[in-house]
Chain A
Amino acid sequence: MTDRAAIRAEAETLFASFKSAGAVAVEADTLLPAETLLDLYGEDIRARAYVTSDPLRGEMMLRPDFTVPVVQAHMQNGAEPARYCYMGEVFRKQDRPGTRANEYLQVGFELFDRSAPEAADAELFTLFHGLLAPLGLRPATGDIGILMAAVKGLSTSPRRKAALLRHIWRPARFRKLLDRFSGRAAAPQARHDMLTRLRSGDLAALIADAGPMIGLRSEAEITARANALIEDDQTPPLAAPEAALLYDLLTLQAPARAALSHMRGITSMLPAIEPAVDRFATRLDALERHGINPSDLPFEASHGRSSMEYYDGFVFSFEGNGLPVASGGRYDALTAVLGQGRSIPAVGGMIRPAMLATLREALA
């Protein structure tokens, strides 16, 4: 066990580096209103964060991460472009006895800039790379924006695209839907039986026969979804070549430059991804100008899909000896939700100084 003083010293060093990279240090409350976080992250966060109650302020949560409070602070009084850094404890319940900490320090950097997002991605990654690569940490990168563009560009119904987009951060579910939409897996028998029933008569009469209306979900909502199911049943499967391209993209793993040429090779067949691939290329050029070689930078199209649920563009992480030391990415959609319509393109990342201290101890 690395001692707390060594971890604190590690954190201070990182924090100083972030400040000298032009970031303004920000503080955040330790107790945050639970409602915002629960609404954003859902039940998963309730399982992982400590929720407590305050007699006046209601349900509160011990800070599970800094992103939300930093974004909120920026929206209230920030000018753009802005660079912020923070250092403090976060709290996570651990459901398995073992080595993962319940509270640990995070040091992070967030960059809000709407003029040149790819340059911002490159600036942030270079900063992290400079701090972590000397310790032998391996970077991994991805781009969820390319996957989202590919889904949006499929020639299928808006409803099917929306279903896939909604589950992009749940890879197993996404895969199940894609298998069904592409005809690789048959719809379950239960769905066939239900469709037969729904087609057997007038929907209003079927609902009335089924039982009394109870609860908030209205007859109109039931009818709308029943109609959607009938309509979806008539939607033809994804064209085989298109589906094959998407499966190919999901499993794409290559050095970033090679991944770019691969994706350039498929844009003629999947033109919708072209703008996202252009942004990827712009980012690689920016990285190269910062001295990062895209020809040996690992890239995985599906990186960050299961662990970092709110990222919707560039994503990255650094690992050493199997320890998750740092992670980050672009989260434009999250700022749009928090900004209630005002979006603030943002990219950020955090480092866990305890992991760094452990690694340094192992090196010494």
Chain B
Amino acid sequence: MSLKIGVPSKGRLMEKTFDWFGARGVIMGRSGSDREYAGAVEGVDGVELVLLSAGEIPRELSAGRIHLGVTGSDLVRDKLADWSAQVVEVAPLGFGHADLIIAVPTAWIDVDTVDDLDAAAAAFRAEHGFRLRIATKYHRLVRDYLTAQGVADYQLVDSQGATEGTVKNLTAEAIADITSSGETLRANHLKILSDGPIHASQATLFAARGAEWDAGTRATLAELAKQLGVEAAV
């Protein structure tokens, strides 16, 4: 049985992943035409490349259909319940940096931290009769964070895209989203709460605890880890 490694199937994330492995002597590439989602690995025997959408890699790791996978650490934390029981973080890859943050209108001069957001939510609910709405697609990460911070009187509303526009469109009062430069936030008159990101995400190599780890795949993993210069204990 070969060791399956899931890698993002397109874009900068794929290129950077190929570069990262390539720099360590593991050559990944697409086989066949540009449009075919199949790949090959040279440099270590017994490794099979599986090209997948980055968003599906957490699910495939969870199901154990791939042994290793490269995806954003935010996606793994948000999509997998009790993520550390399901996957092992093998190595952060040093690219794909993005912060999951909470942002509110810049006009809110009375709100700077999550503490302020909590107090504003209490007053908002009393005034408007419903809980302050935070638009996001990162439900688990945001809810866990706000619960840990002891925030009350809010609700999460789902937003799968153009989240920065929800405040102006009156479908949310605040947002929680991924940002790298903050450009889009500024353009939409939003500012980031100052007490730190909910999660600082980057592309990360994960191993699936639930994949089939037999003597062969374990040996391949050991060899691959040695080549990559990382520790991998599943």
User: Using a CB–CB distance below 8 Å, which chain A residues touch chain B?
Assistant: 38-39, 42-44, 46-47, 95-97, 163, 166-167, 170, 172-174, 176, 188, 190-191, 193-194, 197-198, 203, 206-207, 210-217, 219, 221-222, 224-226, 229
The 10 closest A-B pairs by CB, nearest first: A173-B150, A211-B106, A170-B150, A215-B167, A225-B110, A226-B110, A211-B107, A96-B82, A211-B189, A214-B168
B170 near A206 with CB under 8 A, answer no
- Can you report 7 A-B residue pairs in the complex whose CB atoms are below 8 A from each other? A172-B150, A190-B113, A207-B109, A211-B105, A211-B107, A216-B170, A222-B107
A-contact 0/1 string along B93-131, CB 8 Å cutoff: 000000000000111111111011011101110011011
**Counting CB contacts under 8 A, is B53 at the interface?**
no
Range, interface on chain B? 35 or more
- Taking A39-B131, A95-B82 as contacts, is the C-beta distance between A167 and B152 under 8 angstroms? yes
| Among candidates A47, A190, A212, A224, residue contacting B112 with C-beta atoms closer than 8 Å | A190
Contacts of B152 in A (CB 8 A): 42, 166-167, 170
What is the minimal beta-carbon distance from A173 to any residue of chain B, in angstroms? 3
The secondary-structure label for the interface of chain A is helix
Q: What is the bound-complex CA distance between A97 and B84, given in angstroms? A: 11
Partner-binding segment picked from B27-35, B70-78, B153-161, B217-225 = B153-161
Contacts of B118 in A (CB 8 A): 173
| Among candidates A43, A174, A214, residue contacting B156 with C-beta atoms closer than 8 Å | A43
- Taking A170-B150, A198-B110 as contacts, is the C-beta distance between A216 and B143 under 8 angstroms? no
A217 near B124 with CB under 8 A, answer yes
B85 near A225 with CB under 8 A, answer no
- Taking A43-B156, A172-B150 as contacts, is the C-beta distance between A225 and B189 under 8 angstroms? no
B105 near A215 with CB under 8 A, answer yes
Query: Which single residue of chain B is at the shortest CB-CB distance from A194?
Result: B112
Query: Most chain-B CB neighbours within 10 Å: which of A190, A217, A226?
Result: A217
Contacts of B132 in A (CB 8 A): 217
User: Using a CB–CB distance below 8 Å, which chain B residues touch chain A?
Assistant: 81-82, 85, 105-113, 115-116, 118-120, 122-124, 127-128, 130-132, 140, 143, 146-147, 149-150, 152-156, 167-168, 170, 172-173, 188-189, 191, 194-195
What is the minimal beta-carbon distance from B85 to any residue of chain A, in angstroms? 6
Query: Most chain-A CB neighbours within 10 Å: which of B81, B115, B154, B173?
Result: B115
A176 near B150 with CB under 8 A, answer yes
| Among candidates B115, B155, B189, residue contacting A212 with C-beta atoms closer than 8 Å | B189
- Taking A190-B194, A212-B189, A216-B170 as contacts, is the C-beta distance between A206 and B150 under 8 angstroms? no
Contacts of A203 in B (CB 8 A): 109
B105 near A96 with CB under 8 A, answer no
Contacts of B119 in A (CB 8 A): 163, 225
Contacts of A188 in B (CB 8 A): 113, 115
Contacts of A47 in B (CB 8 A): 140, 143, 147
What is the minimal beta-carbon distance from B198 to any residue of chain A, in angstroms? 14
Q: What is the bound-complex CA distance between A163 and B149, given in angstroms? A: 15
What is the minimal beta-carbon distance from A166 to any residue of chain B, in angstroms? 6
Query: Most chain-A CB neighbours within 10 Å: which of B112, B146, B153?
Result: B112
What is the minimal beta-carbon distance from A220 to any residue of chain B, in angstroms? 9
What is the minimal beta-carbon distance from A197 to any residue of chain B, in angstroms? 7
- Taking A210-B109, A225-B120 as contacts, is the C-beta distance between A217 and B173 under 8 angstroms? yes
B128 near A210 with CB under 8 A, answer no
A97 near B107 with CB under 8 A, answer no
A213 near B127 with CB under 8 A, answer no
A215 near B155 with CB under 8 A, answer no
Query: Which single residue of chain A is at the shortest CB-CB distance from B120?
Result: A225
Query: Which single residue of chain A is at the shortest CB-CB distance from B129?
Result: A39
- Taking A42-B131, A47-B143, A166-B122 as contacts, is the C-beta distance between A214 and B81 under 8 angstroms? no
Apart from the given pairs A42-B131, A206-B109, 9 other A-B contacts in the complex at a CB distance below 8 Å: A42-B152, A42-B155, A47-B143, A163-B122, A172-B150, A191-B113, A198-B110, A214-B188, A225-B120
Contacts of B127 in A (CB 8 A): 221
Contacts of B123 in A (CB 8 A): 221, 224-225
B195 near A214 with CB under 8 A, answer no
| Among candidates B113, B115, B120, B156, residue contacting A46 with C-beta atoms closer than 8 Å | B156
A198 near B109 with CB under 8 A, answer yes
Q: What is the bound-complex CA distance between A34 and B121, given in angstroms? A: 21
Q: What is the bound-complex CA distance between A214 and B154, given in angstroms? A: 18
Q: What is the bound-complex CA distance between A190 and B112, given in angstroms? A: 7
Contacts of B172 in A (CB 8 A): 215
